[in-house]
Amino acid sequence: MRFENKAILITGAARGIGLSAAELFAKEGGMVVLTDTDSEKLSDSVNKLRSQDLKVEGVSLNVTNRREWESVVTGVVEKHGRLDVLINNAGLNEVATVEDTTIEQWQKMMPVNRDGVFHGIQFGVAAMKETGGVIINVASITAGVAAPELVAYGTSKAAVSQLSKTATVDRARKGYNIRINSIHPGFTDTRMVDKMLDSLGDGASTFAKSIIKGIPMKRLARPCEIAKPILFLASDGGYTAA
Protein backbone atom coordinates (compact mmCIF):
# COMPACT_ATOMS: atom_id res chain seq x y z
CA MET A 1 0.00 0.00 0.00
CA ARG A 2 2.71 2.45 -1.08
CA PHE A 3 0.22 5.11 -2.10
CA GLU A 4 -2.28 4.93 0.73
CA ASN A 5 -4.08 8.28 1.17
CA LYS A 6 -2.13 9.82 -1.71
CA ALA A 7 -3.91 11.64 -4.54
CA ILE A 8 -3.00 10.60 -8.07
CA LEU A 9 -4.12 12.35 -11.27
CA ILE A 10 -3.79 10.54 -14.61
CA THR A 11 -4.57 11.94 -18.05
CA GLY A 12 -5.72 9.78 -20.94
CA ALA A 13 -6.89 7.20 -18.40
CA ALA A 14 -10.07 5.85 -19.99
CA ARG A 15 -8.14 2.96 -21.52
CA GLY A 16 -4.70 1.53 -22.27
CA ILE A 17 -1.64 2.53 -20.27
CA GLY A 18 -3.48 5.22 -18.32
CA LEU A 19 -6.20 2.83 -17.19
CA SER A 20 -3.68 0.13 -16.23
CA ALA A 21 -1.74 2.69 -14.20
CA ALA A 22 -4.92 3.87 -12.49
CA GLU A 23 -5.73 0.32 -11.43
CA LEU A 24 -2.23 -0.31 -10.06
CA PHE A 25 -2.13 2.93 -8.07
CA ALA A 26 -5.62 2.31 -6.66
CA LYS A 27 -4.67 -1.23 -5.62
CA GLU A 28 -1.73 0.32 -3.75
CA GLY A 29 -4.15 2.46 -1.75
CA GLY A 30 -4.13 5.61 -3.87
CA MET A 31 -7.07 7.95 -4.41
CA VAL A 32 -6.96 8.03 -8.20
CA VAL A 33 -8.54 10.66 -10.46
CA LEU A 34 -8.86 9.40 -14.04
CA THR A 35 -9.25 12.03 -16.76
CA ASP A 36 -10.03 11.77 -20.47
CA THR A 37 -12.00 13.45 -23.24
CA ASP A 38 -13.99 10.27 -23.94
CA SER A 39 -16.58 10.72 -21.19
CA GLU A 40 -18.52 7.54 -21.96
CA LYS A 41 -15.48 5.25 -21.91
CA LEU A 42 -14.13 7.09 -18.86
CA SER A 43 -17.36 6.43 -16.96
CA ASP A 44 -17.28 2.74 -17.90
CA SER A 45 -13.67 2.39 -16.76
CA VAL A 46 -14.30 4.18 -13.46
CA ASN A 47 -17.29 1.94 -12.74
CA LYS A 48 -15.24 -1.20 -13.46
CA LEU A 49 -12.52 -0.09 -11.03
CA ARG A 50 -15.09 0.84 -8.40
CA SER A 51 -16.58 -2.64 -8.71
CA GLN A 52 -13.23 -3.82 -7.29
CA ASP A 53 -13.75 -1.50 -4.29
CA LEU A 54 -11.01 0.82 -5.52
CA LYS A 55 -11.01 4.53 -4.69
CA VAL A 56 -11.29 6.20 -8.09
CA GLU A 57 -13.20 9.01 -9.74
CA GLY A 58 -13.46 10.32 -13.29
CA VAL A 59 -13.20 13.90 -14.54
CA SER A 60 -13.34 15.19 -18.10
CA LEU A 61 -10.13 16.95 -19.14
CA ASN A 62 -8.93 18.25 -22.48
CA VAL A 63 -5.19 18.56 -21.84
CA THR A 64 -4.86 21.36 -24.41
CA ASN A 65 -7.14 23.61 -22.35
CA ARG A 66 -5.41 25.49 -19.52
CA ARG A 67 -8.68 26.51 -17.88
CA GLU A 68 -9.70 22.86 -17.62
CA TRP A 69 -6.29 21.99 -16.20
CA GLU A 70 -6.64 24.67 -13.55
CA SER A 71 -10.14 23.50 -12.65
CA VAL A 72 -9.19 19.82 -12.40
CA VAL A 73 -6.01 20.33 -10.38
CA THR A 74 -7.73 22.80 -8.06
CA GLY A 75 -10.56 20.33 -7.59
CA VAL A 76 -8.18 17.52 -6.65
CA VAL A 77 -6.37 19.69 -4.09
CA GLU A 78 -9.61 20.98 -2.59
CA LYS A 79 -11.11 17.50 -2.27
CA HIS A 80 -8.05 15.51 -1.22
CA GLY A 81 -5.91 18.18 0.39
CA ARG A 82 -2.98 17.76 -2.00
CA LEU A 83 -1.78 16.34 -5.31
CA ASP A 84 0.92 13.71 -4.84
CA VAL A 85 1.34 12.16 -8.30
CA LEU A 86 0.58 13.47 -11.78
CA ILE A 87 0.89 11.21 -14.81
CA ASN A 88 0.81 13.02 -18.15
CA ASN A 89 -0.26 10.13 -20.37
CA ALA A 90 -2.74 11.56 -22.89
CA GLY A 91 -1.52 11.45 -26.49
CA LEU A 92 -2.34 11.21 -30.18
CA ASN A 93 -0.58 9.50 -33.07
CA GLU A 94 -0.89 9.52 -36.85
CA VAL A 95 1.24 7.81 -39.46
CA ALA A 96 3.04 10.09 -41.92
CA THR A 97 6.58 10.84 -43.06
CA VAL A 98 8.07 14.32 -43.10
CA GLU A 99 6.99 14.72 -46.75
CA ASP A 100 3.45 13.48 -46.16
CA THR A 101 2.62 15.09 -42.82
CA THR A 102 -0.01 17.76 -43.31
CA ILE A 103 -0.02 20.95 -41.31
CA GLU A 104 -3.40 19.83 -39.96
CA GLN A 105 -1.86 16.60 -38.59
CA TRP A 106 1.05 18.52 -37.08
CA GLN A 107 -1.21 21.09 -35.46
CA LYS A 108 -3.49 18.35 -34.14
CA MET A 109 -0.78 16.36 -32.37
CA MET A 110 1.47 19.05 -30.91
CA PRO A 111 -1.15 20.68 -28.63
CA VAL A 112 -1.95 17.29 -27.08
CA ASN A 113 1.39 15.47 -26.99
CA ARG A 114 3.68 18.41 -26.29
CA ASP A 115 1.68 21.34 -24.96
CA GLY A 116 -0.59 19.16 -22.81
CA VAL A 117 2.45 17.92 -20.90
CA PHE A 118 3.75 21.47 -20.53
CA HIS A 119 0.42 22.61 -19.06
CA GLY A 120 0.34 19.59 -16.76
CA ILE A 121 3.84 20.24 -15.43
CA GLN A 122 3.08 23.90 -14.76
CA PHE A 123 -0.14 23.24 -12.86
CA GLY A 124 1.31 20.14 -11.19
CA VAL A 125 4.38 21.97 -9.89
CA ALA A 126 2.21 24.82 -8.63
CA ALA A 127 0.09 22.33 -6.66
CA MET A 128 3.10 20.39 -5.32
CA LYS A 129 5.51 23.20 -4.39
CA GLU A 130 4.66 23.17 -0.70
CA THR A 131 3.91 19.48 -0.19
CA GLY A 132 6.18 17.72 -2.72
CA GLY A 133 5.19 15.17 -5.31
CA VAL A 134 6.01 13.25 -8.45
CA ILE A 135 5.27 14.01 -12.11
CA ILE A 136 5.69 11.29 -14.73
CA ASN A 137 5.43 12.10 -18.42
CA VAL A 138 4.74 9.31 -20.90
CA ALA A 139 7.04 9.92 -23.86
CA SER A 140 7.97 7.20 -26.37
CA ILE A 141 10.86 5.21 -27.75
CA THR A 142 10.46 7.44 -30.83
CA ALA A 143 11.76 10.37 -28.77
CA GLY A 144 15.27 9.01 -29.25
CA VAL A 145 14.98 6.50 -32.10
CA ALA A 146 14.02 7.81 -35.54
CA ALA A 147 10.70 6.45 -36.81
CA PRO A 148 10.34 7.96 -40.31
CA GLU A 149 6.63 7.11 -40.49
CA LEU A 150 5.90 8.89 -37.20
CA VAL A 151 7.63 12.22 -37.71
CA ALA A 152 5.18 14.48 -35.85
CA TYR A 153 4.61 11.97 -33.05
CA GLY A 154 8.32 11.36 -32.53
CA THR A 155 9.06 15.07 -32.56
CA SER A 156 6.39 15.76 -29.97
CA LYS A 157 7.70 12.98 -27.72
CA ALA A 158 11.28 14.23 -28.04
CA ALA A 159 9.98 17.54 -26.74
CA VAL A 160 8.41 15.73 -23.79
CA SER A 161 11.73 14.05 -23.01
CA GLN A 162 13.68 17.32 -22.98
CA LEU A 163 10.93 19.16 -21.12
CA SER A 164 11.02 16.51 -18.40
CA LYS A 165 14.79 16.90 -17.95
CA THR A 166 14.83 20.69 -17.83
CA ALA A 167 11.79 20.85 -15.54
CA THR A 168 13.22 18.42 -13.00
CA VAL A 169 16.58 20.23 -12.87
CA ASP A 170 14.77 23.55 -12.49
CA ARG A 171 12.64 22.37 -9.55
CA ALA A 172 15.73 20.78 -7.92
CA ARG A 173 17.66 24.06 -8.09
CA LYS A 174 14.69 25.82 -6.50
CA GLY A 175 14.56 23.29 -3.68
CA TYR A 176 11.14 21.87 -4.48
CA ASN A 177 10.62 18.30 -3.34
CA ILE A 178 9.24 17.31 -6.73
CA ARG A 179 10.62 14.58 -8.99
CA ILE A 180 9.88 14.69 -12.70
CA ASN A 181 10.58 11.70 -14.95
CA SER A 182 9.68 10.59 -18.44
CA ILE A 183 9.07 7.00 -19.49
CA HIS A 184 9.67 5.84 -23.07
CA PRO A 185 7.50 2.86 -24.07
CA GLY A 186 7.93 0.99 -27.31
CA PHE A 187 4.95 -0.13 -29.37
CA THR A 188 2.21 -1.18 -26.95
CA ASP A 189 -1.06 -3.02 -27.45
CA THR A 190 -3.35 0.00 -27.11
CA ARG A 191 -6.19 1.62 -29.03
CA MET A 192 -3.77 4.26 -30.32
CA VAL A 193 -1.60 1.62 -31.98
CA ASP A 194 -4.70 -0.14 -33.31
CA LYS A 195 -5.91 3.10 -34.90
CA MET A 196 -2.46 3.72 -36.33
CA LEU A 197 -2.46 0.31 -38.02
CA ASP A 198 -6.03 0.76 -39.25
CA SER A 199 -5.01 3.99 -40.95
CA LEU A 200 -2.48 2.07 -43.04
CA GLY A 201 -5.11 -0.10 -44.71
CA ASP A 202 -3.46 -2.77 -46.85
CA GLY A 203 -0.04 -1.78 -45.55
CA ALA A 204 -0.89 -2.51 -41.91
CA SER A 205 0.27 -6.13 -41.97
CA THR A 206 3.67 -5.27 -43.44
CA PHE A 207 4.21 -2.42 -40.98
CA ALA A 208 3.13 -4.57 -38.02
CA LYS A 209 5.51 -7.34 -39.05
CA SER A 210 8.38 -4.86 -39.28
CA ILE A 211 7.61 -3.64 -35.75
CA ILE A 212 7.43 -7.15 -34.28
CA LYS A 213 10.66 -8.13 -36.05
CA GLY A 214 12.55 -5.46 -34.14
CA ILE A 215 11.18 -6.49 -30.74
CA PRO A 216 13.22 -9.23 -28.99
CA MET A 217 10.09 -10.71 -27.37
CA LYS A 218 8.33 -10.75 -30.77
CA ARG A 219 5.16 -9.10 -29.47
CA LEU A 220 3.82 -5.70 -28.52
CA ALA A 221 4.12 -4.58 -24.92
CA ARG A 222 1.04 -4.93 -22.73
CA PRO A 223 -0.30 -1.77 -21.03
CA CYS A 224 0.31 -3.25 -17.57
CA GLU A 225 3.99 -3.74 -18.47
CA ILE A 226 4.31 0.02 -18.97
CA ALA A 227 2.14 0.88 -15.97
CA LYS A 228 4.38 -1.03 -13.56
CA PRO A 229 7.50 1.10 -14.24
CA ILE A 230 5.29 4.19 -13.86
CA LEU A 231 4.28 2.92 -10.41
CA PHE A 232 7.95 2.33 -9.59
CA LEU A 233 8.98 5.83 -10.68
CA ALA A 234 6.27 7.33 -8.49
CA SER A 235 7.55 5.43 -5.45
CA ASP A 236 10.00 6.97 -3.01
CA GLY A 237 13.56 7.41 -4.32
CA GLY A 238 15.48 8.92 -7.20
CA TYR A 239 19.06 10.03 -7.88
CA THR A 240 19.90 11.07 -11.45
CA ALA A 241 18.80 13.50 -14.15
CA ALA A 242 19.94 12.15 -17.50
For the segment 81-109, what is each residue's pLDDT rounded down to a tens digit? 999 999 999 999 888 899 999 999 999 99
43 assigned to some structural domain:
yes
Q: End-to-end distance of the chain based on CA atoms, in angstroms?
A: 29
197 assigned to some structural domain:
no
Considering its fold, how many domains does the chain have in total? 1
Q: For the segment 23-52, what is each residue's pLDDT rounded down to a tens digit?
A: 999 999 999 999 999 999 999 999 999 999
98 assigned to some structural domain:
yes
Q: How many CB atoms lie within 10 A of CB 65?
A: 15
153 is known as an active-site residue: yes
pLDDT band of residue 239 (cuts 50, 70, 90) is low
What pLDDT is attached to residue 196?
A: 66
21 assigned to some structural domain:
yes
What's the one-letter identity of residue 83? L
Q: In this prediction, what percent of the chain has a pLDDT beyond 90?
A: 73
Q: For the segment 111-168, what is each residue's pLDDT rounded down to a tens digit?
A: 999 999 999 999 999 999 999 999 999 999 888 888 888 899 999 999 999 999 999 9
The yes-or-no verdict on residue 234 having pLDDT over 60 is: yes
Residue 7 contacts residue 59 (beta carbons within 8 Å) = no
Quick one: residue 175, left, alpha or beta (phi over 0 = left, psi -120 to 50 = alpha)?
Answer: left
Average pLDDT, the chain: 90
> Using CA atoms, how far apart are residues 17 and 5, in angstroms rounded to an integer?
22
What pLDDT is attached to residue 192?
A: 74
Higher pLDDT, 113 or 202: 113
What pLDDT is attached to residue 35?
A: 98
Structural domain harbouring 56 = 7-186+222-234
Given 153, 167, 179, 183, the catalytic residue: 153
Higher pLDDT, 139 or 220: 139
168 assigned to some structural domain:
yes
47 assigned to some structural domain:
yes
103 assigned to some structural domain:
yes
> Using CA atoms, how far apart are residues 35 and 64, in angstroms rounded to an integer?
13
Residues 6+ apart with CB under 8 A from 150: 93, 95, 96, 142
pLDDT band of residue 240 (cuts 50, 70, 90) is low
pLDDT band of residue 207 (cuts 50, 70, 90) is low
> Using CA atoms, how far apart are residues 158 and 163, in angstroms rounded to an integer?
9
What CATH number does the domain containing 104 carry? 3.40.50.720
202 assigned to some structural domain:
no
The yes-or-no verdict on residue 169 having pLDDT over 60 is: yes
